[in-house]
């Protein structure tokens, strides 16, 4: 049943059972021993009129759903608690909310407002729901411009030892261990690139990729015969046939340099546009469960504003009604005893 009722009820849901708490009007203690014949059940949908629920008994607390079914859960261990099987029509599509009411003599009236949603209510966590489809995400890990073959050439950047003098381009190996490039651009580090740590990686690359070190990269695509000098700085390998230039060209390095240069420095102040400021405020106000489960900050502000400054009626009765600040709807409906103690509260958070 968790796919029908998660703070809201999915419109069109069927076979929904609700817990009902009954308290005596005399002393506000739990009301026990009531059967279906003692109960007047109703529901009222947005835009409609009150509809009576034909009450009936249930064979047991865990019996199959039966519209109008009513039974006490456990008078000893859970006094005052009952099960009500709401008719399916109460949750039909076409309304935004429905109020369920249970009325018993000498008992506070039980009201419960439920919002109806057309959104898909998730069953199971997101990771599980991705399921086998998640396997397809692995295909995104390898770009057409970065194949296993091309990646293999990068592996030769940090091979310690003398330069191999083979004429086969695939065997060219240069000792560039002193460049400290491997600690910046390894397979693992490439896999970590993302919106979270990219700025830090760019800062590290900027600090390590000095003009002197960048000069070594210029030797990766120098056409011509291999220079057999013992000076490491003069090692030049003809790797023009390796197709590396299509991945790391001088033009692309220049664009990277320009992007790094123009990027805002760490800690620099940034001015948000009015739209961005509004988006930040809205995200805060409408954060799901932002105050407590089922309540956003905006909804709590609405209740607080009404409770502090809006119109109040029925203060001398068992039902207190507080309007919203704009006086367009009932924001809070509370059932109280003679001392003002609340036994049931219904909010309209819209």
- Read off the pTM: 0.39
Using a 10 angstrom Cβ sphere, with 0-12 exposed, 13-18 middle and 19 or more buried, the burial of residue 240 is middle
* CA 295 distance to own-chain centroid: 15
Strand 69-74 to 56-57 pairing:
parallel
Which domains, and CATH codes, for the chain? 5-117 (2.60.40), 146-262 (no CATH), 296-347 (no CATH)
Angle, vertex CA 204, rays to CA 201 and CA 207, nearest 5: 150
Neighbours of 110 (CB within 10 A): 23
DSSP result, 237-261: ---GGGT-TTTS-HHHHHHHHHHHH
DSSP result, 44-96: EETTS-EEEE--EE-SSTTPPP-TTEEEEEETTTEEEEEEEEE-GGGG-SS-S
Q: Which residues of the chain have pLDDT under 50?
A: 1, 136, 139-146, 157-159, 161-170, 172, 176, 179-183, 221, 225-229, 232-233, 239, 244-245
47-97: pLDDT as tens digits: 999 999 999 999 999 999 999 999 999 999 999 999 999 999 999 999 999
Find tokens 């990729």 and name the residue.
Answer: 209
SS3 track for 162-223 = CCCCCCCHHHCCCCCHHHCCCCCCCHHHHHHCCCCCHHHHHHHHHHHCCHHHHHHHHHHHCC
pLDDT of residue 346: 93
pLDDT of residue 53: 98
Contact of 236 with 227, CB cutoff 8 Å: yes
pLDDT of residue 109: 97
Residue 10 token pair: 């999915």
pLDDT of residue 141: 47
Contact of 236 with 248, CB cutoff 8 Å: no
* H-run or E-run covering 144: none
Which residues have C-beta within 8 Å of that of residue 52, sequence separation ≥ 6?
40, 41, 42
Distance (Å, whole) CA 19 – CA 288: 24
- Closest C-alpha to 45, from 121, 101, 120: 101
């Amino acid at each position: 049943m968790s796919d029908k009722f998660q703070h809201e009820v999915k419109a069109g849901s069927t076979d929904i059972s609700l817990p009902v708490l009954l308290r005596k009007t005399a002393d506000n203690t739990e009301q026990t021993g009531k059967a279906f014949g003692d109960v007047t059940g109703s529901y009222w949908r947005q835009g409609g009129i009150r509809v009576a629920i034909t009450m009936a008994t249930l064979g047991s607390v865990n019996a199959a759903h039966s519209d109008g079914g009513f039974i006490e859960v456990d008078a000893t261990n859970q006094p005052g608690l009952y099960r009500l099987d709401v008719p399916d029509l109460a949750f039909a599509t076409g309304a935004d909310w429905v109020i369920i009411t249970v009325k018993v003599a000498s008992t506070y009236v039980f009201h419960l407002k439920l919002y109806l949603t057309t959104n898909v209510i998730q069953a199971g966590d997101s990771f599980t729901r991705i399921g086998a489809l998640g396997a397809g995400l692995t295909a995104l890990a390898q770009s057409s411009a970065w194949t296993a073959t091309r990646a293999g050439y990068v592996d030769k950047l940090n091979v310690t030892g003398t330069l191999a003098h083979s004429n086969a381009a695939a065997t060219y190996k240069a000792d560039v261990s002193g460049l400290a490039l491997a600690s910046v651009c390894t397979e693992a580090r490439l896999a970590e690139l993302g919106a979270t740590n990219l700025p830090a990686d760019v800062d590290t690359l900027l600090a390590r990729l000095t003009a002197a070190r960048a000069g070594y990269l210029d030797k990766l695509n120098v056409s011509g015969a291999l220079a057999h000098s013992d000076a490491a700085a003069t090692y030049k390998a003809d790797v023009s046939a390796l197709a590396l230039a299509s991945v790391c060209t001088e033009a692309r390095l220049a664009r990277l340099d320009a992007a790094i240069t123009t990027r805002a420095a760490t800690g620099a102040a940034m001015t948000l546009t009015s739209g961005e400021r509004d988006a930040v405020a809205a995200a805060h106000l409408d954060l799901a469960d932002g105050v407590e489960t089922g309540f956003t900050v905006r909804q709590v502000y609405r209740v607080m504003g009404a409770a502090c400054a809006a119109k109040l009626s029925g203060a001398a009765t068992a039902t207190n009604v507080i309007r919203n600040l704009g006086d367009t709807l009932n924001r809070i409906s509370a059932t109280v005893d003679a001392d003002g103690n609340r036994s049931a509260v219904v909010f309209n958070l819209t």
